[in-house]
Structure 1
Amino acid sequence: MLEYQQKHLILLESMFFSTGFEACKIAKELGYKVTLICRDFKLYLKNKPLNQHPLGLADFHIETETNDAKSLIQFLENYYEKNPFHGLLTFSDYYVDIAAQVATYFGFLSPSPKSVQIARNKDLSRICLLEKSVPSAKFHIVKSFAEALKAAKDIGYPCVVKPTAETSSYGVECVFNDEQLLKAFNFANSIIINERGQRREGKVLIEEYMVGEEVSVETISINGDCHVLGITSKGLTGWPNFVECEFSFPYKIPENTRNSVIDVVKSALNAIGYFHGPCHTEIKLTKEGPKVVEINPRLGGRFISKMISDSLGIDPIKEVIKLAMGDSVDLLPKRNIGTAWSAITAPSTGFLKEIKGKEEVLKSSGVEIFILNAKIGDFVRKPTNNGDTIGYIYTLGKDAADARDNLKKAREKLQLIISS
Structure 2
Amino acid sequence: MVMECIVFLETHKSGSSRDAIEAAVQMGFFTILFTQQMKKLHQREEYPDVHQMIFVKDLRDKGVIYEHLRIINKQEKQIKALVSFVDPFVHLAAEIAAELGSASLSVDALYKMEDKTRFRETLKGHPAAPEHAVLPLKEDGDTLFHTHVNQLPVILKSPVSNGSKDVLLIDDKDAFLTACSSFKKQAGLSSLLLEEYVEGPQYLIEIIVEHGKVHLAAVIEQVISKEARFIITGYLMPAPLPDSSLEELQTVMESIVEQLGLSHGTCHAEMRRTVHGWKLIEINPRISGSAVNQLIYEATGISLVKETLKLNLGYPIDCTPKNQLSAYAHFITMQRKGKLIKVTGKQKAKTVEHIKKVYVKPRRGSILSAPVSMGHRYAYVIAAAPDPEEAVSAATSAAREIKFHLEPV
TM-score normalised over the length of structure 2: 0.89
Residue 357 of structure 1: CA displacement? 6.3
- What fraction of aligned residue pairs are identical, expressed as a percent? 21
Tell me: CA distance 1:396–1:118, structure 2 relative to 1, closer, same or farther (3 Å). same
Shift of 1:225: 1.1
Q: Which residue, 14, 26, 29 being the options, matches 1:17?
A: 14
Q: Displacement of 1:159 after TM fit? A: 1.0
Specify the alignment match of 2:156 in structure 1: 161
Partner Cα distance (1:76, 1:356) in 2: 44
Cα–Cα, structure 1 residues 29 and 139, in superposed 2: closer, same or farther, change >3 Å? Answer: same
- CA distance in 1 between counterparts of 2:58 and 2:344 reads 44
Q: Distance in 2 between matches of 1:79 and 1:7?
A: 15
Whether the 8 Å CA contact 2:300–2:325 is kept in 1: the answer is yes
The residue aligned with 2:26 is: 29
Picking from 151, 167, 178, the partner of 1:183 is 178
One of 41, 49, 56 as aligned partner of 1:64: 56
SS class of match (1:191):
coil
CA contact (8 A) 1:135 1:264 kept: yes
Question: Any idea what the Cα deviations from partners look like across 1:24-58, whole Å, max 9, x if unmatched?
Answer: 2221221112221122341x46x53x0x213x422
- CA offset at residue 160 of structure 1? 1.0
Q: Which amino acid aligns with 2:296?
A: I
Residue 86 of structure 2 corresponds to residue 89 of structure 1? no
Question: Which residue number corresponds to residue 195 of structure 1?
Answer: none
* Aligned mates of 1:110, 1:93 — CA distance in 2: 19
Q: Secondary structure at the match of 2:88?
A: helix
SS in structure 1 at match of 2:89? helix
Correspondences of 1:382-397 after superposition (within 5 Å): 382-397=370-385
Residue number among 67, 70, 76 corresponding to 1:78 in the alignment: 70
Q: Secondary structure at the match of 2:79?
A: coil
Aligned with residue 129 of structure 2, among 136, 142, 153: 136
1:329 is aligned to 317
For 1:227 and 1:125, the matched residues in 2 are separated by: 20
Moved more, 13-22 or 229-238: 13-22
Say how many residue pairs are matched.
Answer: 403
**Matching residue within 157, 169, 173 for 2:168:** 173
Pairing 1:148–2:144 present = yes
Query: What are the superposed Cα offsets for residues 275-317 of structure 1, whole Å, 9 maximum, x if unpaired?
Result: 2122111101122111001111101211111111121111111
Q: Do the aligned partners of 2:382 and 2:395 also contact (CA within 8 Å) in 1?
A: yes
Match of 1:367 in 2: 355
Correspondence 1:201-220 to 2 at 5 A: 201-220=189-208
CA distance in 1 between counterparts of 2:273 and 2:15 reads 28
1:373 deviates by 4.5
Counterpart in 1 of 2:306? 318
The question of whether the paired residues in 2 share the 8 Å contact of 1:249 and 1:311 is answered with yes
| Pairing 1:185-334 to 2, within 5 Å after superposition | 185-192=180-187, 201-334=189-322
Question: Which residue in the other structure is 1:408 paired with?
Answer: 396
| Residue aligning to 2:330 | 342
| Structure 2: tracts of 5 or more residues without a match | none
Amino acid across the alignment from 1:348: R
Cα offset for 1:167?
1.2
**Is the deviation greater in 74-83 or in 135-144?**
74-83
Moved more, 138-147 or 215-224: 138-147
Residue 197 of structure 1 corresponds to: none
For the 8 Å contact 2:3–2:78, the answer to whether it is kept is no
Q: Partners in 1 of 2:22 and 2:362 — Cα distance?
A: 27
CA deviation after TM superposition for structure 1 residue 399, in Å: 3.8
Per the alignment, in what secondary structure is the counterpart of residue 124 of structure 2? helix
| TM-score, normalization by structure 1 | 0.87
- Of the structure 1 ranges 143-152 and 156-165, higher mean CA displacement relative to structure 2 is found in 143-152
SS for the counterpart of 1:364 is: coil
Distance in 2 separating the partners of 1:410 and 1:58: 31
Greater Cα offset, 325-334 or 359-368: 359-368
Distance 1:375 1:73, change over 3 A: closer
SS at match of 2:123: helix
Cα distance in 2 for partners of 1:27, 1:134 equals 39
